[in-house]
């Protein structure tokens, strides 16, 4: 059911753990539903660019949730925040050589966690946030609210 690559990423995930004093944190998912992903980023500023110097994740979830967390952190590491924002769920799924249909939402969750970490960084720094990122943040927040009202 899972590809060889997915199993490798699950058995030996990269970049798990916390970052002390992160530049941004993205927290998505809901423990009642069974998937929670937290992504921490540390940003290094050059003259022109902001680079994701370090990135780590903490995930409560299944094989797909752990594997997609590992992949998204690998894909985003060393990228500028603009490049990282362009990573999409197809990139993750392709990297893994596919995911079972019922597990595709895990790749969405990984992208959401990364976007939220970038959003958190930009809003803390009081920087301009692109319309696209604002929209994505709003959508994630709306889903969070919907889930928490459902589970109360």
Partner 1 sequence: MNNENIRLTKLRNKLIKEILNQIPYSHLNGHPTKRLPNNANFWFKGIEGESIVIHLDLLGIATSTGSACSSEKLEPSYVLLATGLRPEQAHGSLRLSLGKWTTEKEINYVLKVLPKIIKNLREISPFKD
Give the footprint of partner 1 on this chain (CB under 8 A): 2, 7, 10-11, 13, 16-17, 27, 31-36, 38, 57-66, 102, 151
User: Side by side, which strands form the sheet with 24-30?
Assistant: 24-30, 35-45, 50-60
**Rounded to the nearest whole angstrom, what is the least distance from the CB of residue 22 to partner 1 in the complex?**
13
Active site residue 106: yes
Check 64, 106, 109, 118 and give the catalytic one. 106
**Rounded to the nearest whole angstrom, what is the least distance from the CB of residue 25 to partner 1 in the complex?**
10
Q: Which of 17, 48 has the CB closer to partner 1?
A: 17
Active site residue 62: no
**Rounded to the nearest whole angstrom, what is the least distance from the CB of residue 45 to partner 1 in the complex?**
27
Say whether 46 sits in a helix, a strand or coil.
Answer: coil
Q: How far apart are CA 41 and CA 20, in angstroms?
A: 10
**Rounded to the nearest whole angstrom, what is the least distance from the CB of residue 102 to partner 1 in the complex?**
7
Q: Which of 51, 62 has the CB closer to partner 1?
A: 62
* Residue 121 CB-density burial (10 A; 0-12 exposed, 13-18 middle, 19+ buried): buried
Phi, psi of 85 (to 5 degrees): -65, -25
Q: Which of 54, 80 has the CB closer to partner 1?
A: 54
Residues 6+ apart with CB under 8 A from 141: none
Check 33, 34, 90, 150 and give the catalytic one. 33
CA distance readout (Å), 142 to 41, 53, 66, 138: 23, 30, 24, 6
Q: Which of 22, 61 has the CB closer to partner 1?
A: 61
- Active-site positions read 33, 106
């Amino acid at each position: 059911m899972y590809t060889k690559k997915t199993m490798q990423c699950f058995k030996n995930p990269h970049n798990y753990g916390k970052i002390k004093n992160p530049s941004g944190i993205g927290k998505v998912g809901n423990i009642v539903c069974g998937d929670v992903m937290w992504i921490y980023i540390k940003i290094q500023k050059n003259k022109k660019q902001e680079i994701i110097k370090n990135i780590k994740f903490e995930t409560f979830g299944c094989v797909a949730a752990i594997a997609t967390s590992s992949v998204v952190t690998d894909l985003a590491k060393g990228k500028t925040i603009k490049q990282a924002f362009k990573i999409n769920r197809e990139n993750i799924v392709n990297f893994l050589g596919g995911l079972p249909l019922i597990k595709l939402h895990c790749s969405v969750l990984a992208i959401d966690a990364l976007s939220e970490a970038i959003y958190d960084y930009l809003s803390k720094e009081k920087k301009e946030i692109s319309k696209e990122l604002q929209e994505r943040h709003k959508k994630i927040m709306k889903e969070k609210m919907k889930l928490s009202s459902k589970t109360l």
